[in-house]
Chain A
Amino acid sequence: MKARIFLLIMVLGTALQAQTPERKRAQPSPWERSIVTLEASRKQYDYYQPWTRKTGRAIKTALYIGEHQILTTADELFDRTLVRFQKGGRGRWWPGEVTWIDYYANLALVTCSDEDFWRDLQPATLGGTVPEGGTLQILRWHEGNLENRRAEFTQFTVREGQLAAINQTVLEADSDIQNAGWGEIVTANSHAVGIVSAQEGRMCTAIPATFIQNILEARKQSRYHGLGFFHFYWQGSQNPASLARLNLPGEPRGVIVNSVPARPDDCEQVLRPQDIILSIDGFALDIQGDYADPEYGNLMLENLATRNKWAGDDVKMQIWRDGKLMNIVYRLPKYDYSVSLVPSATYDQEPEYLILGGLVFQPLTDSYLQSWGNDWRRRSPFRLNYYRNDPPAKDRPALVVMSQVLPDSYNIGYQEQRCLVVDKVNGKTISRLADLRGAIDHPVNGFHVVEFVQSDSLRRIVISAGDSEKEATGRILKRYGIDEAYHLAGKAE
């Protein structure tokens, strides 16, 4: 009898063991009804041959946050041709429509016009705090299942954004998840505390929920006009001699302003070189340029340009100038890719180009330089790359480069010329392709004279204008399989 009971227990135990996973699968995570898969199809451009395009596709994770809004990162949503959703990690796809996108903040809201899509979806709660012990979960749909990876909170810190060189708070967490960085949801205590925007090794970088909430709230109240930034260079005051030289009394503190470029919005710069910034919006700055953030701990001062403040907002600064304490108001300029002479991105815009007798002209942008491949910062021509350090000037807000010459009898003698920055065409200064388009309407004595910026390379090219140029351009387009002689921004002619 004893033996029978034992046997029964064994059988029951085995049955219970076998049932346990079944029961786990049968009990869905509440996140399954909030997290969806987003597929973005988009055009991909070869900036070395800007008239060609390929297609690309990215699978991302997105989060339902209520009011028919799905939240995800803006990454891979540029130049999109189709966005669609999938619920529950399987089954049918639902078309999506981007209702708001901010590449600088790397955030997007997507909706679906089909009411059936929203059935069964449960809005997630953004916010919350990182729990004691720092254990987080990173969630996404993966092969039909909700993948739930443990992550260890590392720190809140300030880093450049994934799609723009603008500093903002990020959450860093260590996890063994693979290939993350595509909008995976970071959760803790039933809250979404962040969205993963990048991964390097085991380190996942996420946009914190508070940052997202602040932007969404400001947007609702029409207070959000884009991200602002501090448009000046500063350094820490770790060297007490620097503070002594500037006669700052008391404990070492604050940061020293090094240089103050002209603002992109033409407003007056209220800071001067050798000012010491002591506090911003009431937050005292230490000698490294950090302040004590009540939510995130010690953060770099750059975060105070995006801490619930937006482009056009004022921040209050206490500074030390010429031996006196002063209070000033710094209006945050709007960050834009064109704050650099070489724009760092050109999203949602087909590559611009203009072909004149086989001479190919393009704007000098990071997108163009990236045609040198993943290691483009090293491999692209040094001089072109070095222009990235320059601010736009009033008389030359951007640059046009003659990227290559499509060989033809018309342009014989120039076939090997490439990567030359254009200075003037027919005597007119060229900053944009539109300038070039205008200049070639006014040839000089029957010739187009193309002058390049003075450097260690070719200075001037002359080609004949008029019918011979038009004939050659037509012939070249046909030979090289190019549909249009030019594509200018906003003019898909």
Chain B
Amino acid sequence: MLKQTATTVLATLWLCAGYAADPERSVIQIFTFSQQPIWDAPWRFDAVRRMGGSGFVIKGKRIMTNAHVVSWGRQIIVRRYQDPRPYVAAVEYVAHDCDLAVLTVQDSRFFDNLDPLELGELPKVRSAVVTYGYPAGGEEISYTRGVVSRIELEPYAHVGNRRLLTCQTDAAINPGNSGGPVIQDDRVVGVAFQGMAGLENAGFFIPTPVIEHFLKDIEDSHYDGFPFAGLRVMPLQSPAYRILLKLPDNDLGARVDGILPIPSTEKEFKLDDVLLKVGDYPVASDGTILYRGNRVSSALAFQFVQAGQSVPVQIWRDGQQRQLSLPVSAYAGDRAAGYQYDTLPRYLVYGGLVFTPLSLDYLRTLGGSAPEISNGEMYYELFFRNYEDHAKARPEPIVLASILADSVNANLRIRGRTLLDQINGVRIEKLEDVVRAFETCTNGFDLIEFLPHHGCETLERSEVANANSRILKTYGIAHDRRL
């Protein structure tokens, strides 16, 4: 009897295993040969790197993967399960804010006998999931089983300055797993995408609501991005503050404590407005909503709609309830404060001086001590100016990234890594101002002033005119600018 029971259990397990083995045929191995620009020498590129990742087949003969698996890709190679043949793939859509991408494969035979995986629901916390993928350490597909540990809004490391819905799991997610499906009951419930330094047995995957939002967004053949309300919402749990705002003594309502310079948001909201409900979700006093059994930041409630749509919001203002409709769209105002992709860095080389926009990518070239360089001026300009002094914020702060040594600039004291203030009296707000300031100057000298203490350098314009082509030739720069 015991023997019979054991056999039944084994048979059941075998059936389960066999049943669960089907998705693996639709899991794709991806090799990307990528080449990133060098942000402080923007005409150059880093060495070509080979990166391994994973993906899976979705409807419409497409492959879904992570944006970071295919970013800066020069060539993307995909391979089917246990099939040695390489196929060339191309990015059809990429969404850097939510770290997702859709690939196509020119050779339609690639999709022969491959079934697209279906998307499932947001998994429940404590439920079991299996990640499929091709992590480092071997060539064969790998499966790791774990449970969903928690569901929250977390930073997406690919861009660095966006927080979207995330599932944490104790299933191992290692380099190479990125882009692979996380499966529950034969359906994809997420895309594996990142780990977290310092946390053991913790991996993160992008859950289906984010994936579905992305797929819906690209239905019009254009990716707009996740909407961003631009509100800083703080808990409202102080009894005194609630009394001051004449709010009922319950657990509802969180306070608007900051508003980013987004016209629609600035128009609709005031400081000390209290969010009572966003969409269909009541906002609790700690600033969270209850979303499918999970307490998550109320910022999520602004992310369900597509960019360009409006979110109904119930607020408390001046002792009364009010109803607003907030139009939301993707926010590009902090683009430079996150990692950037697809667009090559802008620059101008003039007299060997390399000018480029200030960005997180540029700061990364300075190493770990970025806040200390230039008295923290660049760090402040990139991360704080917009919050503190929006009127004085420059749309595109420009740095003198480096100096290409030449006799024309041999006497310059400054060697780069400095934020620009003015050139020939023109306040530098964006790279085009640098071009204009040099090209419209009628003096014999160019005067370049730097922040924070107006250190300055002078170039003789006649010498620069002679030197420019020489410098470009010496340093192998095809064009003096990319605007």
**Of B237, B372, B447, which contacts A377 at CB under 8 A?**
B372
Q: Which residue of B lies closest to A416 (CB)?
A: B235
A236, B413: Cβ atoms closer than 8 Å: yes
Counted as pairs of residues, one from A and one from B, with CB atoms less than 8 Å apart, the total is: 106
Q: Mark B256-276, 1 if CB is under 8 A from A, else 0.
A: 011000000000000110000
**Of B237, B240, B384, B453, which contacts A383 at CB under 8 A?**
B384
Q: Mark B271-291, 1 if CB is under 8 A from A, else 0.
A: 110000000000000000000
**Of A377, A454, A458, which contacts B388 at CB under 8 A?**
A454
Q: Which residue of B lies closest to A465 (CB)?
A: B240
B244, A447: Cβ atoms closer than 8 Å: yes
Q: Which residue of B lies closest to A242 (CB)?
A: B458
Q: Which residue of B lies closest to A383 (CB)?
A: B384
B387 contacts chain A at the CB level, 8 A cutoff: yes
B376, A382: Cβ atoms closer than 8 Å: yes
A389 contacts chain B at the CB level, 8 A cutoff: yes
| Given A258-B456, A455-B384: A460 touches B257 (CB 8 Å cut-off) | yes
User: Given the complex of chains A and B, what is the CA–CA distance between A414 and B255 in angstroms?
Assistant: 13
Looking at chain B, what size class is its interface with the partner chain?
35 or more
Give the distance to chain A from B183, nearest Cβ to Cβ, in Å.
Answer: 38
Q: Which residue of A lies closest to B377 (CB)?
A: A389
B240, A447: Cβ atoms closer than 8 Å: yes
B383, A386: Cβ atoms closer than 8 Å: no
| Given A413-B237, A462-B238: A241 touches B387 (CB 8 Å cut-off) | no
**Of A238, A389, A411, A449, which contacts B413 at CB under 8 A?**
A238
Give the distance to chain B from A305, nearest Cβ to Cβ, in Å.
Answer: 18
B244, A462: Cβ atoms closer than 8 Å: yes
B376, A385: Cβ atoms closer than 8 Å: yes
B114 contacts chain A at the CB level, 8 A cutoff: no
A461, B238: Cβ atoms closer than 8 Å: yes
Give the distance to chain B from A472, nearest Cβ to Cβ, in Å.
Answer: 11
Q: Which residue of B lies closest to A460 (CB)?
A: B257
User: Given the complex of chains A and B, what is the CA–CA distance between A464 and B244 in angstroms?
Assistant: 9
A55 contacts chain B at the CB level, 8 A cutoff: no
User: Given the complex of chains A and B, what is the CA–CA distance between A377 and B236 in angstroms?
Assistant: 33
**Of B237, B272, B388, B413, which contacts A239 at CB under 8 A?**
B413
B452, A389: Cβ atoms closer than 8 Å: yes
A273 contacts chain B at the CB level, 8 A cutoff: yes
B212 contacts chain A at the CB level, 8 A cutoff: no
B456, A382: Cβ atoms closer than 8 Å: no
A458, B445: Cβ atoms closer than 8 Å: no
The interface residues of chain B lying within 8 Å CB-to-CB of A383 are 380, 384
User: Given the complex of chains A and B, what is the CA–CA distance between A382 and B465 in angstroms?
Assistant: 42
Give the distance to chain A from B319, nearest Cβ to Cβ, in Å.
Answer: 13
| Given A239-B411, A382-B376, A462-B244: A258 touches B455 (CB 8 Å cut-off) | yes
Q: Which residue of A lies closest to B371 (CB)?
A: A382
B234 contacts chain A at the CB level, 8 A cutoff: yes
B234, A244: Cβ atoms closer than 8 Å: no
Give the most central of B240, B377, B380, B460: most A CB within 10 Å: B240
B271, A459: Cβ atoms closer than 8 Å: yes
B449-464 contacts to A, CB under 8 A, are 452-460
| Given A458-B234, A458-B257, A462-B240: A245 touches B458 (CB 8 Å cut-off) | yes
B387, A389: Cβ atoms closer than 8 Å: no
Give the distance to chain A from B462, nearest Cβ to Cβ, in Å.
Answer: 11
A413, B236: Cβ atoms closer than 8 Å: yes
User: Given the complex of chains A and B, what is the CA–CA distance between A146 and B400 in angstroms?
Assistant: 55
| Given A235-B456, A447-B244: A245 touches B447 (CB 8 Å cut-off) | yes
A412 contacts chain B at the CB level, 8 A cutoff: yes
**Of A233, A239, A463, which contacts B238 at CB under 8 A?**
A463
The interface residues of chain A lying within 8 Å CB-to-CB of B387 are 454-456
B408-447 contacts to A, CB under 8 A, are 411-413, 443-445, 447
Q: Which residue of A lies closest to B453 (CB)?
A: A233
User: Given the complex of chains A and B, what is the CA–CA distance between A461 and B242 in angstroms?
Assistant: 11
The interface residues of chain B lying within 8 Å CB-to-CB of A449 are 244
Q: Mark A349-386, 1 if CB is under 8 A from B, else 0.
A: 00000000000000000000000000001100011011
B243 contacts chain A at the CB level, 8 A cutoff: yes
B341-390 contacts to A, CB under 8 A, are 369, 371-372, 375-377, 379-380, 383-384, 387-388
A233, B454: Cβ atoms closer than 8 Å: yes
The interface residues of chain B lying within 8 Å CB-to-CB of A20 are none
A4-22 contacts to B, CB under 8 A, are none
| Given A239-B458, A273-B454: A456 touches B383 (CB 8 Å cut-off) | yes
Q: Mark A242-266, 1 if CB is under 8 A from B, else 0.
A: 1011000000000010110000000
The interface residues of chain A lying within 8 Å CB-to-CB of B258 are 454, 456, 459
**Of A238, A241, A382, A462, which contacts B241 at CB under 8 A?**
A462
B239 contacts chain A at the CB level, 8 A cutoff: yes
B383, A258: Cβ atoms closer than 8 Å: no
A445 contacts chain B at the CB level, 8 A cutoff: yes
| Given A377-B372, A389-B376: A256 touches B237 (CB 8 Å cut-off) | no
Q: Which residue of B lies closest to A411 (CB)?
A: B238
The interface residues of chain A lying within 8 Å CB-to-CB of B237 are 412-413
Give the distance to chain A from B228, nearest Cβ to Cβ, in Å.
Answer: 15
A456, B457: Cβ atoms closer than 8 Å: no
B270-318 contacts to A, CB under 8 A, are 271-272
Q: Mark A223-246, 1 if CB is under 8 A from B, else 0.
A: 000000000010110111110110
Q: Mark A410-442, 1 if CB is under 8 A from B, else 0.
A: 011110000000000000000000000000000
A242, B376: Cβ atoms closer than 8 Å: no
A389, B456: Cβ atoms closer than 8 Å: no
A453 contacts chain B at the CB level, 8 A cutoff: yes
Q: Which residue of B lies closest to A239 (CB)?
A: B411
The interface residues of chain A lying within 8 Å CB-to-CB of B371 are 378, 382, 385
B411, A241: Cβ atoms closer than 8 Å: yes
Give the distance to chain A from B271, nearest Cβ to Cβ, in Å.
Answer: 7
User: Given the complex of chains A and B, what is the CA–CA distance between A269 and B461 in angstroms?
Assistant: 33
Q: Which residue of A lies closest to B258 (CB)?
A: A459
User: Given the complex of chains A and B, what is the CA–CA distance between A235 and B450 in angstroms?
Assistant: 12
**Of B240, B376, B379, B412, which contacts A464 at CB under 8 A?**
B240
The interface residues of chain B lying within 8 Å CB-to-CB of A386 are 376, 379-380, 384
The interface residues of chain A lying within 8 Å CB-to-CB of B452 are 389
The interface residues of chain B lying within 8 Å CB-to-CB of A233 are 453-455
User: Given the complex of chains A and B, what is the CA–CA distance between A235 and B455 in angstroms?
Assistant: 7
| Given A244-B460, A382-B376, A455-B388: A235 touches B257 (CB 8 Å cut-off) | no
A256, B456: Cβ atoms closer than 8 Å: yes
A447-480 contacts to B, CB under 8 A, are 447, 449, 453-456, 458-464
User: Given the complex of chains A and B, what is the CA–CA distance between A238 and B372 in angstroms?
Assistant: 26
**Of B240, B388, B444, B454, which contacts A259 at CB under 8 A?**
B454
Give the most central of B243, B244, B377: most A CB within 10 Å: B244
Give the distance to chain B from A251, nearest Cβ to Cβ, in Å.
Answer: 15
B70-108 contacts to A, CB under 8 A, are none
A460, B460: Cβ atoms closer than 8 Å: no
Q: Which residue of B lies closest to A258 (CB)?
A: B454
A414, B238: Cβ atoms closer than 8 Å: yes
User: Given the complex of chains A and B, what is the CA–CA distance between A454 and B390 in angstroms?
Assistant: 11
The interface residues of chain A lying within 8 Å CB-to-CB of B235 are 413
The interface residues of chain B lying within 8 Å CB-to-CB of A242 are 456-458
Give the distance to chain B from A461, nearest Cβ to Cβ, in Å.
Answer: 7
Q: Which residue of B lies closest to A241 (CB)?
A: B458
The interface residues of chain A lying within 8 Å CB-to-CB of B244 are 445, 447, 449, 462
The 5 A-B residue pairs with the shortest CB-CB distance, nearest first, are A413-B237, A413-B238, A462-B241, A464-B240, A241-B458
A–B pairs, 28, beta carbons within 8 Å: A235-B456, A238-B411, A239-B411, A241-B458, A241-B459, A242-B456, A244-B445, A244-B460, A258-B455, A377-B372, A382-B380, A383-B380, A386-B380, A389-B377, A411-B238, A412-B238, A413-B236, A413-B238, A447-B240, A454-B258, A454-B388, A458-B257, A461-B238, A462-B238, A462-B240, A462-B244, A463-B238, A463-B240
Given A256-B456, A386-B379, A411-B238, list of 16 further CB < 8 A pairs? A233-B454, A235-B456, A241-B445, A258-B454, A382-B376, A382-B379, A383-B384, A386-B376, A386-B380, A413-B237, A447-B240, A455-B387, A458-B257, A462-B240, A462-B244, A463-B241
